[in-house]
Amino acid sequence: MLAQRVATAIVLVVLLGAALFWLEGAALYAVFCVATLGAAWEWAGIAGITGSAGRLRYTFLIAVLCAAAWYSHVEFALAPWLWGVAALWWAYTLWLLRGFPASIARQRFGRGACLAAGLVMLVPVPLALIAMTEGVAGWAALAMLFGVVWGADIGAYFAGRAWGQHKLAPSVSPGKTREGAIGGAVAALLIVVPVAAIWVPMDAGQWVLFLGLVVLCIAASIIGDLVESAFKRTAGIKDSGRLLPGHGGVLDRVDSLLAVAPIFALGLSSLLR
């Protein structure tokens, strides 16, 4: 299983690298949107839509909203507002996780609310990705973003296997441990801090705020993972899909990114303006 996960991850990194090298602007945004639409299809299933027609309608709605988000970004610079709404949603999920499973039980968080949550979770993400490439930090911003997400994920996996003893959220995801979370945080910091030191000039005050932002985003990456796990557990499914060997579905691979991208984009754009 580990070999399969690694092989799939390598292929994804190569494809992402090729897109980042060859594409820019609207073309690169479209690539980000393709992944978002894959996640939307899977989220519709988690929300309880089993038929292909219903999933297709929901995916089409996400596509329309992503197009509208791009227009709002180009014409009216409204992206930070969308990221702010997403950040509020992820703050709200802390309550959902704390009260799980009662807080996400079908009678209290039904299909309509779940589908609406998917709009807030999915639409701001490709906009955050493309906006970071256009910002002051440029490609370094995207490198730091993926450093947070991948570093926290990989570090948590290996630290949890080596030292994990205390469960992080047993009712949501029994396999995750506090030791794993700490290991993931350390790994993410070891990746992000050198990138920022080399490519993103900041004064002492900015560094303090930046490190606070990174720590917040590491916590968000854990929350994103746990939220998807909670909704999947409520829906009675193990993986969101089967598209990615060793990883499950697209949503299983980008759950942390959904939470981190808008928060990191909002924080970084405010810090480096």
pLDDT of res. 179:
96
Neighbouring CB atoms inside 10 A of 215's CB total 14
For the ranges 167-171, 211-215, 260-264, the lowest mean pLDDT is seen at 167-171
The domain limits of the chain are: 2-271
pLDDT of res. 9:
67
Q: How confident is the model at residue 4 (pLDDT cuts 50, 70, 90)?
A: low
Q: How confident is the model at residue 70 (pLDDT cuts 50, 70, 90)?
A: very high
Phi first, then psi: give them for residue 19, nearest 5 degrees: -65, -45
Give the integer Cα–Cα distance in Å for 104 and 114: 9
Neighbouring CB atoms inside 10 A of 104's CB total 21
For the ranges 57-71, 158-172, 176-190, the lowest mean pLDDT is seen at 158-172
The pTM (predicted TM-score) of the whole model is 0.94
Helices (H) and strands (E) in the chain, counts: 10, 2
Q: Answer whether 166's CB lies under 8 Å from 177's CB.
A: yes
Q: Where are the beta strands (DSSP E) in 118-263?
A: 167-169, 173-177
Q: Answer whether 185's CB lies under 8 Å from 260's CB.
A: no
Phi first, then psi: give them for residue 21, nearest 5 degrees: -75, -40
Three-class SS state of 272: coil
**DSSP assignment, residue 3?**
H
pLDDT of res. 15:
83
Q: How many CA atoms lie within 13 A of 268 on its CB side?
A: 30
Neighbouring CB atoms inside 10 A of 143's CB total 19
Predicted confidence (pLDDT) at residue 246 exceeds the cutoff of 60: no
Tens digits of per-residue pLDDT, 96-150? 888 787 776 655 678 899 999 999 999 999 999 999 998 888 889 999 999 999 9
How remote is the C-alpha of 107 from its chain's centroid? 27
Residues contacting 258, CB < 8 A, separation 6+: 39, 121, 122, 125, 224
Residues contacting 226, CB < 8 A, separation 6+: 97, 168, 169, 172, 173, 176
Tens digits of per-residue pLDDT, 220-243? 999 999 999 999 988 888 878 776
Predicted confidence (pLDDT) at residue 248 exceeds the cutoff of 90: no
Q: How confident is the model at residue 6 (pLDDT cuts 50, 70, 90)?
A: low
Beta bridge partners of 173: 169
Residues contacting 116, CB < 8 A, separation 6+: none
pLDDT averaged over every residue in the chain: 90
Predicted confidence (pLDDT) at residue 269 exceeds the cutoff of 80: yes
